[in-house]
Amino acid sequence: MARSPSGDSLIERVVRILEAFDPDTPALTIGELAARADLPSSTTSRLVEQLVAHGLLRRDDERRVRVGVRLWELASRASPTLALRQVAMPFMEDIQAVVGHHTQLGVLDGREVLFLERLSARGAVINLTKVAGRLPLHASSGGLVLLAHAPRPLREAVLAAPLRPFTPATVTDPETVRRLLADIRHQGHALCAGFIDPAATGIAVPVRDPLGRVMAALSVVVPNDPDAWTHIGVLRTAARGLERALRAPRAP
């Protein structure tokens, strides 16, 4: 059903159109969109017209195509992951108020950490995290916490693939990462000084669902100072509060 001569389904083509947009290129002409999605202009134009009619895409004042707010609404209103974000928000605000730098909530998706939320303080240290952005599991503190508690086959697959360095401090030797993951499971937190940027330290703790499975990582990005470790207690305290809230019956 609905297959093009090249055999890809219509849904595949719609996904390629949606994937063409990113934070650096939020508005595209039909020609740019067709090139990025690797589709004929006529197909792109026809699909865009239908997606605009349903509000999933929209045309801006210059007739360029953008992602529509209706797509966000459909994706958000029944998302279990965003229910987690909603419960986590007050605890993230607590962390941010106490630590005064960036606070993030990340979940495992594929072989990366996907950030559901990020709160920032004005004038805080550099931070590569973006909401709806991703980082590799081995390089970020949140990613390492999620990898430490991931199913073994995923862990082995990540360790078997090349581990990209961001700075000289990024751990890229699989055996060293393996020991790091054991330490994280044992100590209950990850502390990554300068792994992604020499000026920043990431610290993360796991968040467990009511069945005890790690469902997310709560993390902060603070200056790369010798006393960065002092924030671990704040994160652990907030994670315990969040886990208790996740166990409580939901308010109406």
| Closer residue to a copy of itself, CB minimum distance, 16 or 178 | 16
| Least gap, CB of 244 to a copy of itself (angstroms) | 13
Q: Whose structure tokens read 């090249």?
A: 6
The least CB distance from residue 28 to a copy of itself, in Å, is 9
CB of 34 to a copy of itself, least distance (A): 16
Q: Nearer to a copy of itself by C-beta: 15 or 182?
A: 15
Please calculate the CA angle 113-117-121 and round it to the nearest 5 degrees. Answer: 120
Neighbour count for residue 91 (Cβ, 10 Å): 23
Q: Taking the C-alpha atoms of 23, 26, 29 and 30 in order, what is their torsion angle to the nearest 10 degrees?
A: 80
Q: Are 235 and 189 in contact (CB under 8 A)?
A: yes
- Residue 149 phi, psi (nearest 5): -110, 10
Nearer to a copy of itself, 75 or 157 (CB): 75
- Positions that interact with a copy of itself (CB under 8 A): 1-2, 9-12, 14-15, 18-19, 21-23, 25-27, 46-47, 50-51, 54-56, 60, 66-67, 69-83, 86, 89-90, 93, 107, 109, 114, 119-122, 130-133
In the complex, least distance from residue 179 CB atom to a copy of itself, rounded to whole angstroms: 30
What CA–CA distance (Å, rounded) separates 93 from 195?
25
